[in-house]
Amino acid sequence: MTTNILELAAQVGSALQEKGLLLTTAESCTGGGIGQAITEIAGSTGWYDCGFIAYSNASKTELLEVPAALIAQMGTVSEEVAAAMATGALANSNAHVAVSTTGIAGPTGAVPGKPVGTVCFGWARGDNVHTERLVFAGDRQAVREQTVAHALQGLLRFVN
């Protein structure tokens, strides 16, 4: 894990703690990488509630209440599914803020209009949900690291 990611996680923790907020994570393509970065920070129990690793479509539906019809209509890697993952994580935790990731880390999995490196993010706090779609370059590890870093950067903007 890079120093940059750990610094971002510490900054997120400070921002959440300052506001008395708890975080939850809903991860697919990052496989728990955001949660790992967060729990590397001493004292994260004060601001991190829990994390969901919902890798399969069935787990997204079962754990996060993402409608199967939404996945079928929009595709797993979509801003709509990222938003539903984030709001589902909030609904199924004690957290106030959520971040979600769903993407194609590669080297396979690309579909028309969604190349390898495509990642959708969701950030939710109450009824306020923000989504974003980016395409990262590099191999599987590089895509996942960039995704974790961007998710944390987005949390900083979203919480502050």
Beta strand 23-27 with 97-103: parallel, antiparallel or unpaired?
A: parallel
What distances in angstroms separate CA 6 from CA 16, 18, 105, one per listed residue?
Answer: 15, 18, 21
User: DSSP label at 111?
Assistant: B
Please state the rounded mean pLDDT for residues 100-112.
94
Whether the pTM exceeds 0.95: the reply is: yes
Whether 156 has a pLDDT exceeding 80, the answer reads: yes
- Note whether 1 and 36 are within 8 A (CB): yes
Whether 122 has a pLDDT exceeding 80, the answer reads: yes
CA distance 93 to 37: 19
**Residue-level pLDDT at 64:** 98
Q: Which tokens go with 85?
A: 């993952």
**Residue-level pLDDT at 2:** 81
Q: What is the pLDDT of residues 7-23, one digit of tens each?
A: 999 999 999 999 999 99
Percent of the chain with pLDDT over 70: 100
CA atoms within 13 A on the CB side of 22: 15
What distances in angstroms separate CA 113 from CA 15, 94, 117, one per listed residue?
Answer: 36, 36, 11
Please state the rounded mean pLDDT for residues 23-28.
98
Provide the sign of the torsion angle of the four alpha carbons 75, 77, 80, 82, taken in this order: positive
